[in-house]
Chain A
Amino acid sequence: MPISLKVNGERIEALVLPRLNLADFLREHLKLTGTHVGCEHGVCGACTVRVDGEIVRSCLMLAVQMHGASVETIEGLSDSGEVADLQAAFRERNALQCGFCTPGMLIAAQDLLKQNSEPDRERIRQHLSGNYCRCTGYQAIIDAVENTARARMGRQS
């Protein structure tokens, strides 16, 4: 089926099978391999991307559902600089080890920080509780998100 969509701001026209999911479309057709596939059943959060501003699990969406939509992946969010401070906080705090969960984790964290500029640790833990990380034990990630929130508040005031 033909679809027309925006990915990281670029217009894309593609012919896809109805069964193709968004994660495979991004990875295999557009070679945007920063979107990772961990469980393929919507539990691990590694494939988190943004569709029309909302975060979704790209393994649970079909490519054909993206017709007319705007998709943002970690590559786009990195190049635009939107999550640069969050990435810096992750680096400072060593909030990633193998890095496989990190793109999804960053996108989920950015989603929280857009909704809630001053989340407490409990709120951060809750918001990220759909993103699985086997390496860090989460604390460094929570610290990095908390630090970013504080820094953004500081910049605003």
Chain B
Amino acid sequence: MTVSPAKPEGLSELDRPNSYIGKIVPRPNLERLMQGRGLYVSDVELPRMGHVVFLRSPYAHAKIVGIDATEAGRMPGIHAIVTGEQLSSVITPWVGVLSHLKGLKSAPQHAIAIDRVCWQGEAVAAVVAIGRAVAEDAAEIVKVEYQELDPVADMRTALDPETPVIHPCLGDNLAFERSLDAGRVDAAFADSDKVVEANFIFGRHTGVTLEPRAVVADWNAAEARLTIYQGTQAPHMVQNIAALHLGLEDAQVRVVCKDVGGSFGIKVHIYADEMATYALSKLLRRPIKFVADRIESFNTDIHARDHRCWGRIGVNRDGTITAFEIDDLTGIGPYSMYPRTSAIEANQVVNLVGGPYVTKNYRARARVVFQNKNVMCQYRAVGHPIACSVTEGLVDLAAAKIGRDPVEVRRHNLIADDAYPCTSPSGLRFEQLSHHAAMNKLIAMMDYDALRAEQAALRKRNIHRGIGIANFIEVTNPSAAFYGVGGARISSQDGVAVRLDAQGSVICQTSITEQGQGSESLTAQIVGSVLGVSMERVRVILGDTDNTPYGGGTWASRGAGIGGEAALQAAKILRKNVLDVAAAILQSSPGELDIANNVVVNANDGSPRIELRELARIVYFRPDTLPPGIQPELMATRHFVPREYPFAFTNGVQASWLEVDTDTGFVKLLRHWVVEDCGTIINPQLVDEQIRGGVVQGLGAALFEKCIYDERGQLTNANMADYLVPMSGEMPDIDVGHVVSPTLETELGAKGAGEAGTAGAAAAVANAVNDALRPFGAIITEIPLTPQVILTALGRI
């Protein structure tokens, strides 16, 4: 860290009054949320605002024969009832493909379905009224005549010749396929002492943000400008897409993102009903509000992780892993999502399997198929839980096969901590990872040997506890390689503008966004540290395309690493500018001055020279008193994008300790440990809580969460009583530790931490359940691990 060039004698950089980097400081503005005085999109009201309710298809696949809204349209309070055909006069359809995902195809998708619906929940008409209840009343009497078509429900038969092709124009139901063959896979398997294989099955699940997706779109016909209030992770992306499809310039669209009630990747996409809401505002020339209800959330928020992945691993008796091979199949619904596409998760699985390990022999195939279910796309830790569960499941199977301890086998095969930089068989470039240091720390934290002893003792009493370990790598700080190179107008750079106001406080505008991760806090911490200004005097503005620099937003664990670096660089420039002015005022030189605690001080002894408040007063109100020729510049802007590495990979390892009730099939989570390495830690508390929250999302996937579809493509558990999410009663305490390997690509050195928890939690739990069930000879490679799955594996039902 070199953010504080001068320091008073005897104080380390971290001891300076305003050195916030690496320290636990409370997030600014929590009070607003705790007092119920935040402003979520669902709270926004505008004059003349209409409320839209979407009439949605009850069928997974059907032809729309006719829509009769005559009677409904006559009801009092109804502004309009709009079909897909009518809405298409103001908004164009889209196709969710990117050119770097070679061969990816999809069909044009409309904001509201025209002629045909392709999943249960696709909107067929919009009812706009003075209130939501009024619109819902009218929606009930809109008559839609459907002719049901055969749905494609099962991904396993989606490519069979006898299965209907959902989009005949595409020729088949294959959206995307990728193959990879690295090293000498066949020879490696042939030469292995043992080869183990398994089929891994992952339940389709979804994000269940507590605040459903919500949009208020306000087309001001007089200004010819659209203001979109939306809880989105990527305001500039929304601006661009809305403008593109409404026939506007970006400058005619403003996206405002206030408080967001959870996102996790759910709110980083462009949904058809959101597009319809923008278009309705333009069509009807008034503000329109859409708030999804919970059933709509289950039926239309992107789903994720519906994968079936065959895998095999070769291993020698000494524990050396010789090769990995996988064949992954996933069903993404009827369309590739826009604009990020639905091929990324499978692509990530191919990239990440085997990632922590040395072997260079790796073969993979991934196929992505269309089906008549809700769309799937990127949700927290995209692809990581699949890749990690397959890899770590296979490693445990291999260890069991050769009768060795799973930790020992991992240590034998993890890439050495001094082997970096290096490249994976799938071409991933690792700058610096720390698998062994992380494993050592984890083993110490959990007291592995003691747990093994406890496990053995309890087994004698017919208590079945298990330990599961899962190593992982994590994609963070994505460069343009993620989306930009494929033609998506999704920025990989971020910008920060910092200025000193007229009272010496700091206003900071950043293009990253806040959904609770602490973007605001980390920005203020960095800016305060660099400038020598106390955090309470730094105000951070984000989430407004009119009032922030252009940038990507907060997703894929990029906020701290990319937006944080931009903040650091902008603050450095402002610091220099402040010291230049201070030197002129004080007849000193910038090198002899420093800033600490909101005061310009002597660099050598810290004695105060001029308060920032006074400096700002002079600059803004009495510039006539400055020496001739001085033009102060108390605002600085910097942008940053990673250029050396396409992604800043991080790593970590998780462990689960749990008990399986072999009579009921219930799993009790007793403890969970995580050690991860996100480089420089800006705020340890925020990182730890990101990880804990991520772990619990992974635990939900491991034990509870599954969108259950029937053979007609009907989602049968679209409510929170039947779709189980983790609640406080079932969750364990989670211990988090860190290894710190800063990225050298930035001065800040921060990598991301948002995916780490979710990446490995399910794998650790699945391995622990299998470890617990070892005396029974049962092996389960399916999640969620419901009592039914466990009892079936035990032969009890």
Residues of A bordering B, CB below 8 Å? 19, 27-28, 32-41, 43-44, 46, 73-75, 78, 87, 90-94, 96-103, 106, 121, 124-126, 128-142
Contact = CB atoms under 8 A, between A and B. Distances in A.
Given A34-B36, A38-B294, A91-B26, A132 B210 contact: yes
A62 B261 CA distance: 25
Given A91-B31, A125-B728, A130-B727, A135 B37 contact: no
Nearest to B697: A134
B731 A138 contact: yes
Contact of B36 (A35, A37, A141): A35
A121 B692 CA distance: 17
A140 B685 CA distance: 10
Given A39-B720, A132-B210, A137-B696, A102 B34 contact: yes
Nearest to A124: B728
Interface stretch (B5-13, B38-46, B346-354, B489-497): B38-46
Most A CB within 10 A of own CB, among B34, B209, B261, B263: B34
B725 interface: yes
B734 A41 contact: no
A39 B261 CA distance: 13
B210 A43 contact: no
Given A41-B719, A94-B27, 7 more contacts: A41-B721, A75-B35, A75-B36, A78-B35, A78-B37, A94-B26, A142-B728
Given A34-B35, A78-B34, A39 B133 contact: no
A99 B208 contact: no
Given A74-B36, A138-B731, A139-B731, A99 B293 contact: no
Contacts of B39: 33
Given A90-B30, A94-B685, A40 B516 contact: no
Contacts of A37: 42
Given A134-B262, A135-B262, A137-B689, A100 B34 contact: no
Nearest to B259: A99
B404 to A, nearest CB: 33
A79 to B, nearest CB: 8
Contact of A19 (B33, B36, B133, B209): B133
Nearest 8 CB-CB pairings of A with B: A34-B36, A99-B33, A97-B516, A100-B261, A129-B729, A137-B696, A98-B516, A137-B692
Contacts of B43: 27, 33
A91 B728 contact: no
B517 interface: yes
B211 A100 contact: yes
Nearest to A138: B728
26 contacts: A34-B35, A34-B37, A36-B42, A38-B261, A39-B719, A41-B719, A94-B30, A94-B518, A96-B30, A97-B517, A97-B689, A100-B40, A100-B210, A100-B211, A103-B36, A131-B727, A133-B728, A134-B264, A134-B693, A134-B725, A137-B695, A137-B731, A138-B696, A140-B689, A140-B692, A142-B728
Nearest to A93: B685
B248 to A, nearest CB: 30
A38 B686 contact: no
Contact of B728 (A46, A98, A99, A128): A128
B689 A92 contact: no
Contacts of A121: 733
Contacts of A134: 207-210, 262, 264, 693, 697, 725
Interface string B715-759: 000011100011111110110000000000000000000000100
Given A73-B36, A138-B696, A94 B689 contact: yes
Nearest to A122: B729
Contacts of B729: 125-126, 128-129
Contacts of A92: 26
Nearest to B260: A98
A147 to B, nearest CB: 14
B515 interface: yes
A102 to B, nearest CB: 5
Interface in B246-297: 259-264, 293-294
B259 A98 contact: yes
Given A134-B209, A134-B264, A139-B733, A39 B294 contact: yes
A43 B720 contact: yes
B291 to A, nearest CB: 8
Interface majority SS (helix, strand, loop, mixed), chain B? loop
Nearest to A121: B733
Contacts of B692: 136-137, 139-140
Interface majority SS (helix, strand, loop, mixed), chain A? loop
Contacts of B26: 91-92, 94
Contacts of B31: 87, 91
Nearest to A125: B728
Most A CB within 10 A of own CB, among B33, B210, B727: B210
Contacts of B695: 137
Nearest to A76: B36
A135 B42 CA distance: 19
Nearest to A134: B262
A75 B696 CA distance: 30
Contacts of A136: 689, 692-693, 696
A121 B733 CA distance: 10
B133 A91 contact: no
A100 B263 CA distance: 11
A12 to B, nearest CB: 17
B600 to A, nearest CB: 31
A33 B43 CA distance: 6
Contacts of B697: 134
A93 B30 CA distance: 11
A38 B212 CA distance: 7
A43 to B, nearest CB: 4
Nearest to B517: A97
B34 A36 contact: no
Nearest to B26: A91
B689 A36 contact: no
Contacts of B728: 124-126, 128-129, 131, 133, 138, 141-142
Nearest to B736: A139
B755 to A, nearest CB: 14
Interface string B677-696: 00000000110010011111
A74 B33 contact: no
Contact of A87 (B35, B207, B693, B734): B35
Nearest to B719: A41
Contact of B34 (A87, A97, A130): A87
B731 A41 contact: no
A132 B719 contact: no
Interface string B29-71: 0111111111110110000000000000000000000000000
B392 to A, nearest CB: 21
B720 A99 contact: no
Nearest to B686: A94
A77 B279 CA distance: 41
A33 B35 CA distance: 10
Most B CB within 10 A of own CB, among A43, A73, A124: A43
A90 to B, nearest CB: 6
Contact of A125 (B30, B516, B731): B731
Contacts of B211: 36, 38, 98, 100
Nearest to A28: B131
A96 B731 contact: no
Given A75-B35, A99-B516, A129-B727, A36 B210 contact: yes
Contacts of A138: 696, 726-728, 731
B515 A98 contact: yes
A3 B293 CA distance: 27
Contacts of B733: 121, 139
Nearest to B261: A100
B320 to A, nearest CB: 36
A29 B40 CA distance: 17
A140 B207 CA distance: 21
B63 to A, nearest CB: 32
A78 B36 contact: yes
A133 B264 CA distance: 13
